Homo-oligomer: A and B are copies of this chain.
């Protein structure tokens, strides 16, 4: 199977999901209050838009970097990739819910934080499944050194372990969680996937 269409389909889903985020930005002359007031009241929507845009952006860059290394795709890989895309697709919903409930009372706010955390964890786990499958079945263009493969897996493991930790923090302070997420995101902006040359 060619990896061309797998990339094209993934690009499509990521592009649609990242662009749908804008549908949560609203302002209306019929809201009964000034535009300035509406923007102020809805600042969590704007913050969540920017954060989620960069989350999906970072995923795309890493997806791109990882699949540039891939030599061959099999059916299992396609379904792991589909799992990743499913979690990405939930981001517009979990982002909107977080933005909506960020300023709400106790239980609701915590649940919204937890849901947001689940979609991040889902993406981190899916990415790790993809990476492990690629390494185990020799689907990469070049054979990685054992140490190199373990480093790559460990780096992804960081996310798998820290996203739930950040979410736990978020149950107490959502703002602290967003800061931790931003830091984790900044970590993955730097290249954590194996590179094309050793």
Q: How many copies does the complex hold?
A: 4
CA of A21 to CA of B85, assembled, Å: 12
Residues of B within 8 A of A101 (CB): 27, 29, 35
Q: Does A164 contact B (CB under 8 A)?
A: no
**A35 in contact with B112 (CB, 8 Å):** yes
Residues of B within 8 A of A107 (CB): 34-36
**B108 in contact with A29 (CB, 8 Å):** yes
Instruction: Pick the most buried of A5, A16, A36: most chain B CB atoms within 10 A of its CB.
Output: A5
Q: Does A131 contact B (CB under 8 A)?
A: no
Residues of B within 8 A of A36 (CB): 107-108, 111
Interface of A is mostly: helix
Knowing A22-B92, A112-B35, the reply to whether A189 touches B5 (Cβ < 8 A) is no
| Total count of chain A residues near the partner, CB < 8 A | 58
**B16 in contact with A75 (CB, 8 Å):** no
**B14 in contact with A16 (CB, 8 Å):** no
Q: Does A175 contact B (CB under 8 A)?
A: no
A103: min CB distance to chain B, Å? 9
Query: Closest residue to A76 on the B side, CB-wise?
Result: B189
The 4 closest A-B pairs by CB, nearest first: A12-B15, A16-B19, A25-B93, A57-B82
Contacts A/B (CB < 8 Å), 16 sampled: A9-B14, A9-B60, A11-B12, A15-B15, A16-B16, A22-B89, A22-B92, A25-B93, A35-B101, A35-B104, A35-B107, A57-B82, A61-B75, A65-B75, A75-B189, A75-B191
